[in-house]
Structure 1
Amino acid sequence: MIGFLRQFRGPVTTFHLSAGLLPKTLVSAAAAASKPSVAVFWDLDNKPPKSIPPYDAAVRLKLAASSLGSLRFCVAYANHHAFRHVPAPVRAARAAGRARDHREASQPSPEPYPCRVCGRNFFAHAKLVDHFRQIHEREHAKRLRRLDSTRGGRRVRLAAQLALKMEKYEKAARELLVPRVGYGLADELRRAGVVVRTVEDRPEAADRALREHIVDTMDRGKIGCLVVVSDDSGFVGVLREARMRCLKTVVVGDEGDGALKRCADANFSWKDVISGKARKEAESAVGKWNDRELLKRLEWTYEPDLEQIEDDVFEGQSEDGDDEDGSFGLVGKRWSKDSKPWWKLDSDSCDSIVR
Structure 2
Amino acid sequence: MPNQNPDSSISPSSSEQRVAEHNVAIFWDLDNKPPKSFPPYDAAIRLKKAAQKFGFVKYMIAYANRHAFSYVPPSVRAQRRDRKTWNQLETKGVVKPDEPYICRVCGRRFYTNEKLINHFKQIHEREQMKRLNQIESARGKRRVQMVAKYAMKMEKYKCAARDILTPKVGYGLADELKRAGFGVRTVSDKPQAADVALRSQMVDMMDRRIVECLFLVSDDSDFVEILKEARLRCLKTVVVGDINDGILKRTADAAFSWQEIMMGKAKKEAVSVVGRWKDQSVLQRLEWTYDPETEKKSYYNEIESEDSDIECLSSGEYGSLLDTENDGAWWELDSRTKEVKGPSE
Unaligned runs of 5+ in 2: 1-17, 313-317, 337-345
- Does residue 1:321 correspond to 2:310, yes or no? yes
* 2:68 is the alignment partner of 1:82: yes
Offset of 1:275 from its aligned partner?
A: 1.6
Question: How many residues are matched?
Answer: 305
What is the CA–CA distance in structure 1 between the aligned matches of 2:56 and 2:221, rounded to whole Å?
Answer: 27
The match for 1:177 is: 165
Query: What's the CA shift for 1:78?
Result: 0.8
Match of 1:293 in 2: 281
Relative to structure 1, the CA distance from residue 319 to residue 298 in structure 2 (aligned partners, 3 Å threshold; closer, same or farther) is: farther
Could you tell me whether the CA contact under 8 Å between 1:35 and 1:70 is conserved in 2? Answer: no
* CA distance in structure 2 between the aligned counterparts of 1:153 and 1:93, rounded to whole angstroms: 45
Work out which of the residue numbers 160, 167, 188 in structure 2 matches 1:200: 188
**Other-structure match for 1:20:** none
Percent of aligned pairs sharing the same letter: 55
- State yes or no: 1:280 paired with 2:268: yes
Q: Matches of 1:312 and 1:105 in 2, distance apart?
A: 95
**Alignment check: 8 A CA contact 1:313 1:319 kept:** no
User: Is 1:235 equivalent to 2:223 in the alignment?
Assistant: yes
CA contact (8 A) 2:20 2:211 kept: no
Who is 1:191 aligned against?
179
Match of 1:46 in 2: 32
Q: Secondary structure at the match of 1:68?
A: coil
Task: Provide closer, same or farther for how the CA distance between residues 208 and 126 of structure 1 changes in structure 2, counting only shifts above 3 A.
Answer: same
For residue 97 of structure 2, what is the aligned residue in structure 1?
Answer: 109
- Residue 310 of structure 2 aligns to a residue whose secondary structure is coil
1:77-156 map, 5 Å: 77-107=63-93, 108-156=96-144
- Do the aligned partners of 1:35 and 1:68 also contact (CA within 8 Å) in 2? no
User: CA shift at 1:343, angstroms?
Assistant: 6.1
TM-score (norm 1): 0.78
Alignment correspondent of 1:62: 48
Tell me which residue corresponds to 1:225: 213
CA contact (8 A) 2:20 2:212 kept: no
Counterpart among 268, 284, 290 of residue 302 in structure 1: 290
CA separation in 1, counterparts of 2:308 and 2:91?
103
Mapped contact 2:238–2:253 kept (Cα < 8 A): yes
Residue of structure 2 equivalent to 1:353: none
> What TM-score results when the alignment is normalised by the length of structure 2?
0.80
Q: CA deviation at 1:303?
A: 4.6
Provide the rounded CA distance (Å) in 1 between the counterparts of 2:20 and 2:168.
Answer: 46
Q: Is the 2:214–2:238 Cα contact (8 Å) retained in structure 1? A: yes
| Maintained 8 Å contact 2:97/2:112 | yes
For residue 29 of structure 1, what is the aligned residue in structure 2? none
Q: Distance in 2 between matches of 1:199 and 1:155?
A: 31
1:74–1:195 contact (8 Å) kept in structure 2: yes
Q: Supply the distance in 2 between the matched residues of 1:243 and 1:270 (Cα, whole angstroms).
A: 23
Deviation at 1:312, TM superposition (A): 8.3
Whose helix proportion is higher, 1 or 2? 2
Secondary structure of the equivalent of 1:321?
Answer: helix
Instruction: Give RMSD over aligned pairs.
Output: 2.9
Q: What are the ranges of 5 or more consecutive residues in structure 1 without an aligned counterpart?
A: 1-31, 324-328, 334-339, 349-355
Distance 1:35 1:289 in 2: 13
Shift in CA distance, 285/130, structure 1 to aligned 2, threshold 3 Å: same
